[in-house]
Structure 1
């Protein structure tokens, strides 16, 4: 029997600050969606991996970040048009809600300011600064970072993750676009499950199975009017496959995807099905760190200390020291 993982990219305005024309509905929905997801996860007692942008854990800042090697203009929106939008730039209240939940969620990192690690302009120093700042802030909150979710799923600089003691990351799904939405998942002979693997840096790649908001807009409205919510059906299918087969069904979303009541209803229905199948069977719900620890144990590695030793060994052998690390 397999397991189900749910991960969330918790970013508020930082997921959009570098875009010329950010989607207003999603920008404004971040806080609402975050609260709704906390409520639903508590209602159904489902643990999740919350990957938080580190800047959200600050109480305040002047927007200069003078010691950060970001490219020119990276913090421009924070300093200018969003200077008075603290609700988009900071979220310590929301982070506390996750950490104080009755559900045993995993705290993970989504970088410090949502830098794209796979972008050619992101060098080793920038990736290091993003992860170091995020982990420093997490430590101030009494949190460690075992898992990392790449902003916009743009994988890169895995060596930096290994150097900083990260255990797992969410890799791209095995589809042509690396995201897997409706059209990649409707092939009936294609499994919805993924197989986590230990990569050459000692990190566990926990690939995505399904982005839960990969079919939106007018097409979703039409589909729901004549059939049912396609993403709900795919999520149910993945959960049911995990009940029947070994492997991991890894679904993910952003809290800001919940822009309306019908989005809430989708997530309620998915979590209700997951909770019901878990109660009926031996289905396991895991965090990304759970998956990493399980896989490391199965390979004779005893927890994160052994993972660090494994990574050091890889580096000594020349596998984990390259600056690119993609």
Structure 2
């Protein structure tokens, strides 16, 4: 029997501040989607890993960030175009809502300012600063951090994560996304389960299985008009597979992906199905931290010999 993991990249405007052209509907939907996610998770009693950009937890700042080793212009949008957009730069009330939720969510890190860890311009000093500042803010909030989600899934500087006490990260999905991924999993009957592993730094890599909003635009509209929401069908397949086999079905998305009621309905349909399946089987819902603790326990029981998820 496997498990289901849901992780979210909680970033508001920080997920877009370095882009020249902004996806306006998503930029403006961050707070709406965040609240919708919390309501749905509470309704169906589903815990998730919330990877939060650390800057959101500040009450205010001047946008200058003196002595921060960021590239020139990194905070330019915050200082200029978004100077009066506190709703995009700060979200302590939203983070409070995650921590106060009835469901026991995992608080995780998504860096301090959404720096891309795998890019050449992100040197060791900057990666360390991103993590150190995020952890300082978390500590001020009396929160510990065990899991990390790389901005835009751009994996890099994993050794630094280990040095700062992180135990798990979301790894790159081994599967294709969008229409091609849907074809692979349905027509070719490809598995949607992933195998968490322990990397060379002792970190638990919990790879993504499926991006919930990888099938959008006209293709989604056509599919829903003649058939059903393809991502709901795919998620149900992943949940069903986790009831038959060992492994993890790891679903991820951003709160700002929920831009309209039909996006809320997509998540509602999946959580409702997950809740019904969990009630009638031994399927469990885990956070990334839960997976890491489970693998660490298995390694301890086996004298450190376990390098992969022993249930896979």
- TM-score of the pair, normalised by structure 1: 0.90
1:177 Cα deviation from its structure 2 partner:
6.9
The residue aligned with 2:258 is 258
Aligned length, in residue pairs: 304
Mark the runs of 5 or more structure 2 residues left unpaired by the alignment.
305-312
| 1-structure distance, mates of 2:143, 2:107 | 7
Is structure 2 residue 44 aligned with structure 1 residue 20?
no
Mark the runs of 5 or more structure 1 residues left unpaired by the alignment.
308-326
| 1-structure distance, mates of 2:301, 2:102 | 30
Taking a change above 3 Å as real, the CA distance of residues 210 and 177 of structure 1, as seen in their structure-2 partners, is closer
Q: 3-state SS of the aligned residue for 1:299?
A: helix
1:166 Cα deviation from its structure 2 partner:
0.2
Taking a change above 3 Å as real, the CA distance of residues 229 and 179 of structure 1, as seen in their structure-2 partners, is closer
Alignment of 1:157-172 (within 5 A): 157-172=157-172
Q: 3-state SS of the aligned residue for 1:182?
A: helix
Q: 3-state SS of the aligned residue for 1:65?
A: coil
Taking a change above 3 Å as real, the CA distance of residues 179 and 17 of structure 1, as seen in their structure-2 partners, is farther
1:185/1:192 contact within 8 Å kept: yes
The residue aligned with 1:109 is 109
Is structure 2 residue 83 aligned with structure 1 residue 83?
yes
Is structure 2 residue 60 aligned with structure 1 residue 60?
yes
Q: 3-state SS of the aligned residue for 2:300?
A: coil
1:67 Cα deviation from its structure 2 partner:
2.0
Is structure 2 residue 303 aligned with structure 1 residue 290?
no
The residue aligned with 1:268 is 268
| 2-structure distance, mates of 1:222, 1:26 | 21
1:180/1:211 contact within 8 Å kept: no
1:180/1:210 contact within 8 Å kept: no
Alignment of 1:1-326 (within 5 A): 1-175=1-175, 181-300=181-300
2:57/2:137 contact within 8 Å kept: yes
CA RMSD of aligned residues (A): 1.8
| 2-structure distance, mates of 1:63, 1:184 | 45
Q: 3-state SS of the aligned residue for 2:278?
A: helix
Question: Residues 18-66 of structure 1: CA distance to partner in whole angstroms, max 9, x if unpaired?
Answer: 0001100000000000000000000000000000000000000000011
1:189 Cα deviation from its structure 2 partner:
3.1
| 2-structure distance, mates of 1:154, 1:73 | 20
1:172/1:179 contact within 8 Å kept: no
- TM-score of the pair, normalised by structure 2: 0.94
1:52/1:110 contact within 8 Å kept: yes
1:14 Cα deviation from its structure 2 partner:
0.1
Question: Residues 243-272 of structure 1: CA distance to partner in whole angstroms, max 9, x if unpaired?
Answer: 111000000010000000000000000000
| 2-structure distance, mates of 1:301, 1:80 | 54
Taking a change above 3 Å as real, the CA distance of residues 178 and 139 of structure 1, as seen in their structure-2 partners, is farther
| 2-structure distance, mates of 1:262, 1:205 | 32
Q: 3-state SS of the aligned residue for 1:300?
A: helix
